[in-house]
Amino acid sequence: MILKKRLFFADYMKTIAGLFLTLNFFACVSIPKCAVAVKPFDKDKYLGTWYEIARFDFTFERGLSHVTANYSLKSPGIIRVDNKGYQDAKSRWKESIGKARFVGSEDVGRLKVSFFGPFYAGYNVIALDNQYRYALIAGDNLNYLWILSREKTIPETVKNEYLQKAKSLGYDIDRLIWTKQD
């Protein structure tokens, strides 16, 4: 009887440990090799509306045009993320509300963003002009990349600078989809 209780307890502890490791795995975020997040980063200057200029295609944004991201302070240490885009095929708007938290210090542009409970993804600001008008965002790995602007367009010089930076980090910039913003 004692042996059965010990085995049950051991199995129970293994299950709890496995659950903890799984949740920890999903909560971990990273930054692509050789990429460096912007420092110093000013959260307050970054808040507001950004227009998506280009992105790598992935399920949640597939088929969207006129994509915007609006960042606002939800509570201390938490940023509300409101992503919106137009589904041309269905002639309707699609919106996703999430939250972002800093991975470390708030003066470094490394955040983790979640739209689904405990599941986080990396949101790494790897290029940003001094006036906070244009940003290059990397995800956890080389499969996620965004170019953002405070306006619906971006100057060619900034576009080329960001494309060169992304390419030097190993991104296949030919995979970028240029978001319709007219």
> Is the domain of 151 the same as that of 70?
yes
Average pLDDT over residues 112-129: 95
> Is the domain of 51 the same as that of 123?
yes
DSSP 15-26: HHHHHHHHHHHH
Per-residue pLDDT at 147 exceeds 60: yes
> Is the domain of 102 the same as that of 134?
yes
Q: Is the peptide bond before 155 cis (omega within 30 degrees of 0)?
A: no
- The amino acid at 110: R
Which of 19, 23, 39, 21 has its CA nearest to residue 31? Answer: 39
Q: Which domain holds residue 9?
A: 1-29
Higher per-residue confidence, 116 vs 16: 116
pTM of the predicted model, to two decimals? Answer: 0.84
Q: How many domains does the chain have?
A: 2
- The residues, any chain, with a CB within 8 Å of residue 180's CB and separated by 6 or more, are 65, 66
CATH number at residue 82: 2.40.128.20
Q: What is the DSSP letter of 143?
A: T
Report the range of poorest mean pLDDT among 23-37, 84-98, 109-123, 141-155: 23-37
